[in-house]
Amino acid sequence: MKKKEEKTNVMRILDQKKIPYTAHFYEGGAGPEGDREYGFHVAQLLGQDVRRVFKTLVAKGASGGYVVFEVPVAQNLDLKKAARAAGEKSVELLPVSDINAVTGYIRGGCSPVGMKKQYPTVFHASALECPAIFISGGRIGAQVELEPQTLMALLRATAADIVAE
C-alpha cells in the first residue's frame, strides 16, 4: 500500500489562499535525463495530455532580474519571445546549479508557487485554453492540478506566446 503523501509547501500555500487544487503523486523519480523527456515521463505517469502538464523554467533577464516561465512539457521556451513577454532585452535560462539558491527548489521539483521571492511569471498562452493544468507540487513526485486563471491571479502572472515554433 502506498503511504499517505505529505502536503508540500505549495499545497499549504494553496490551502491558505483557499485555492482549490487536486494533488497528484507519482513514483518514478526524475525519469529519463533531459527536461523534455522528464516532462513527458511525468505526463505519462499521471496519464495526462502533455499540453496540460507545465514545466517551470527560471531565467535571468538582461536587467539582472529573474523571471519564471511556465510552458507545456512538450515545448521549448523561445528566449526571444520570452524576453519580449518579460519586458527584457534578453533572457537566459538559469544554470541548474543556481536553481536552488534562487528559488528554494531543486531541479525537477521547481514550482512557480512558493519560491523564495515572487518573481514575475509568464505562462504560455495555451494554459488559458485548458480547464485545469498541472504544475510541480514543489518536489519530485508531486504535481498539483488547478484552474489556470486562479493560479495566474495568485502569481500575478501574465500569458503570452513564449514557445518555439
pLDDT tens readout for residues 29-60: 554 455 557 788 889 989 999 999 999 999 99
In this structure, are residues 131 and 20 in contact, taking their beta carbons and an 8 Å threshold? no
Instruction: Give the residue from 159, 153, 155, 124 showing the smallest Cα distance to 39.
Output: 124
Is residue 103 in a domain?
yes
Flag whether 42 is in a domain: yes
Note whether residue 82 is domain-resident: yes
Domain annotation covers residue 140: yes
Mean pLDDT, range 103-129, rounded to an integer: 96
Angstrom distance (rounded) from CA 67 to CA 80: 13
pTM: 0.92
Number of domains in the chain: 1
Q: Return left, alpha or beta for 58; rule: phi > 0 is left, psi -120 to 50 is alpha, else beta.
A: beta
- For residue 35, what are the domain limits? 22-160
Q: Is residue 33 part of a domain?
A: yes
How many whole angstroms separate alpha carbon 58 and alpha carbon 163? Answer: 14
Is pLDDT at 130 greater than 70 in this prediction? yes
CATH code of the domain covering residue 139:
3.90.960.10
